[in-house]
Amino acid sequence: MSGVYLHDFNCGLKSYRKEVVKSIEVYGEMHRYIPILSKRAGFDKIGEKVVQHQARKFGTTKFGFDRFVNGFLDLLSISFVTKFGKKPMHFFGLQGTLMFIIGFLMALYIGLEKVYMVYIGEGAPPVTKSPFFYIGLTTMIIGTQLFLAGFLGELISRNSTERNHYLIEKRLSC
């Protein structure tokens, strides 16, 4: 079995090399995603061995709607952490910046419309009468919060003790 990791996402029988188990963090119900976590940790040789499943003789299944929902949420967590765990600003900063720009453009439009109405001599209603004012303001606030969430995420990830954690297979003497 050297070099091969055995797995089946829906099977209770799993086998991993010691280095894999020591290198990944499994919490909650993340055990079903060990192959993904292993790949993320740099272990490329992931394989599968077919096992013969037997019909249940005793008890009832524990699979239900709640396990499906939890599995889906765990999959979203793994996907997000895998893609943006070390660079949260790439997700939150982009979303926040886009939302802020959209809100700012809405507020700019309302402001320019008011200036134009005053310039041509028509009575311009207060900007607070327009729903776009509140939508734009809310969008800018949410955008700012998302950007700050990305910034704080970057600070946290940069100060993490695991930031420069490398798996060293072998030390070479010079």
Answer with the one of 64, 84, 104 that is the final residue of a domain: 84
Q: Which residues in 117-131 are b (16+ Cβ under 10 Å) and which e?
A: eeeeeeeeeebeebe
pLDDT digits (tens, 9 = 90+) for 110-162: 989 888 988 998 888 888 888 989 999 999 999 999 999 999 988 888 887 76
Query: What pLDDT was estimated at residue 40?
Result: 80
Answer with the one of 34, 60, 84 that is the final residue of a domain: 84
Same-domain pairing of 36 and 58:
yes
Range of the domain at 151: 86-174
Same-domain pairing of 125 and 75:
no
SS3 of residue 21 by DSSP? helix
pLDDT digits (tens, 9 = 90+) for 55-102: 888 888 777 788 778 888 888 888 888 788 778 899 999 999 999 999
9 vs 114, more confident: 114
Same-domain pairing of 57 and 131:
no
